[in-house]
Amino acid sequence: MKFHQVKTLFWKKHFLSQFFRHAHKEHYIDKPVLYPLTSRKLINVKGNDASIYLQGLITNDMRHFEEGAKSVYAMFLNNKGRVLYDTLIHKWKDNDSFLIECDSSTISAMQKLLKMYKLKRQLEIKDVNEEIKLWVLISSTVPNMKEKNVHIYKDPRLVELGYRIISPLSLNESQLVDIFGSDLSISNSEDGYKYLRYKLGVGEGADDLPPATSFPLEANCDYLHGVSFHKGCYIGQELTARVHHTGVVRKRIMPLKFTKEIKDSIEKDTVVNSSENPKLNLGKLKGIVHNYGLGLMRIKEALDAKMLKVGDYEAEVLKPSWWPIEAPREINVKKEQN
């Protein structure tokens, strides 16, 4: 292949990747909205050994902070390689201080886990939720603010997920409007943020990712920049690396779009079937918000099905536009076998 052909192929691939990854206009809004993240809590881990300590516990690489990162997405796994907790880790005020974000229902279990592996390390592990509050800001523009007591972190997973905001607990809504501008809308709940996540196909927290039930690659941890395959050992690393390098990821969290808004409750983990073949099990439902849901789906089979059946409702599975353009490895393997 000639040089100009290689160059054309490279830039075409690069352009398409950037286009499909960042041109999701339907997820942006003109007016910034601030959602209170009551479903998430914060734990402060600080001390001289904080970075090395967390390096051995999470799927991502803490050295990203040395390269200038302010936040990283990661997961805590058990020794069998299954997801215990998903997290965003934020660089805090001091050099050796980090905020660990976790589901509010698992904060006690998370603290217990962190303290169990602390041993004799020089660390302080503290619940800081009586001092600071967590928000998510969805905005199509980068916030311009100068308030020192309010910290802003770009979500490291997807640009569509906006920014994490950490403010003093004492800060009221009118003060937040003064900081972010008069066009800011402050929501009373995080339902709008959850709806956005479900449209994008991003699982978060114990409801979407129940502890010890799924593997990190099934939860799209690799696609969301949450796992490093170049760092050293961490708990659950062996199976994760083996699946990535030699295995096949047949199931992943994917968005489901229902033909109408769901007003009745559908039991979690309801089996998702093919409308054409009701006996064909394509996955399990993990949650619903309005007309969108999340499911842990068999990728190829679900995408091949024209319509899905979830209880008494019909839906279609969507391949997220932020997934890599390259065909999933599991599809390539099947083609090679045929």
pLDDT digits (tens, 9 = 90+) for 307-330: 999 999 999 999 999 998 764 544
- CA distance linking residue 209 with residue 215, whole number of Å: 9
For residues 163 and 182, the model is more confident at 163
What does the pLDDT average to over 146-153?
88
Give me the chain's average pLDDT, please.
Answer: 88
What's the full length of the chain, in residues?
338
By C-alpha distance, which of 320, 317, 296, 319 is closest to 308? 317
Binned at pLDDT 50, 70 and 90, residue 288 comes out as: very high
pLDDT at residue 148, as a whole number: 82
Virtual torsion, Cα 87, 90, 92, 98, nearest 10 deg:
40
Contact 74, 89 (CB under 8 A): yes
Contact 157, 137 (CB under 8 A): no
Whole-model pTM: value is 0.87
What does the pLDDT average to over 245-250?
81
What does the pLDDT average to over 269-285?
94
pLDDT at residue 2, as a whole number: 44
pLDDT at residue 188, as a whole number: 95
Binned at pLDDT 50, 70 and 90, residue 143 comes out as: confident
pLDDT at residue 16, as a whole number: 38
pLDDT at residue 304, as a whole number: 94
Cα four-point dihedral sign 308, 298, 328, 25 = positive
